């Protein structure tokens, strides 16, 4: 229960992912994009969602398809693992400082995907990684995970710190949202009766 495994294969990428919402934050991730692997490691560790992910993509072109499609696959796995969302807290938030950077995340596992992204990177790259791909990942995750996702930067001058603070803030908010609410039993957390 609250686990999912899926594969997603296109002409551009081949991705397999397994998640366990009731894990301990274990990760085994290899996408071929070093900095992105580091960020996904943080996502697993701080959400306490176990993630195993393998991706082969058209990295000879650039990292875009691999990063975006990993967001799609993780969002789909999250949706599958949550099922009808009975008994979860649904909402999560976190303001996370990392050295010079401070990023806040508020999210709702509403089934209504929406991304508000107010994050600015002072450099176009972190090593070889395009900083614009951070937003692309979260857009894909929100869309395919049915998440209303707000990510807002309050401070930061170092692109690596800003990106890492964003991933950790989303992870911590996601951790809170997917957790069981002991006061609600197996009720769906919506007055509509469905999410």
Q: Is residue 184 part of a domain?
A: no
The three-class DSSP label of residue 100 is coil
The pLDDT of residue 114 is above 90: yes
β-pair type (50-57, 13-20): antiparallel
Is residue 124 a part of any domain in this protein?
Answer: yes
pLDDT of 134-150, one tens digit each? 999 999 999 999 999 99
Task: Look at residue 187 and tell me if it is in a domain.
Answer: no
Cβ atoms of residues 131 and 119 within 8 Å: no
What is the edge-to-edge ordering of all strands in the sheet holding 101-108? Answer: 91-98, 101-108, 148-155, 114-118
CATH of the domain at 48: 3.30.230.40
Structural domain includes residue 183: no
Give the Cβ contact number of residue 15 at 10 Å.
23
Domain range holding 167?
Answer: 3-178
How many structural domains compose the chain? 1
**pTM exceeding 0.95:** yes
- Using 50, 70 and 90 to split pLDDT, how confident is the model at 1? confident
């Amino acid at each position: 229960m609250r686990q999912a495994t899926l594969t997603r294969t296109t002409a551009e990428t081949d991705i397999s992912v397994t998640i366990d919402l009731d894990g301990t934050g274990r990760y085994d991730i290899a996408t071929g994009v070093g900095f992105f692997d580091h960020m996904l490691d943080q996502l697993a560790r701080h959400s306490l969602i176990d993630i195993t992910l393998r991706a082969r993509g058209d990295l000879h072109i650039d990292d875009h398809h691999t990063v975006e499609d990993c967001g799609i696959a993780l969002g789909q796995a999250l949706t599958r693992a949550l099922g009808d969302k009975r008994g979860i807290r649904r909402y999560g938030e976190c303001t996370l400082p990392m050295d010079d950077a401070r990023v806040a995340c508020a999210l709702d596992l509403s089934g209504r995907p929406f991304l508000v992204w107010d994050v600015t990177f002072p450099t176009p790259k972190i090593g070889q990684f395009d900083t614009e791909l951070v937003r692309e990942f979260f857009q894909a995750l929100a869309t395919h995970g049915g998440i209303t996702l707000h990510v807002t930067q309050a401070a930061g001058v170092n692109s690596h710190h800003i990106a890492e603070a964003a991933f950790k803030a989303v992870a911590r908010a996601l951790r809170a949202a997917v957790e069981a609410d002991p006061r609600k039993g197996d009720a769906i957390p919506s007055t509509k009766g469905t999410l």
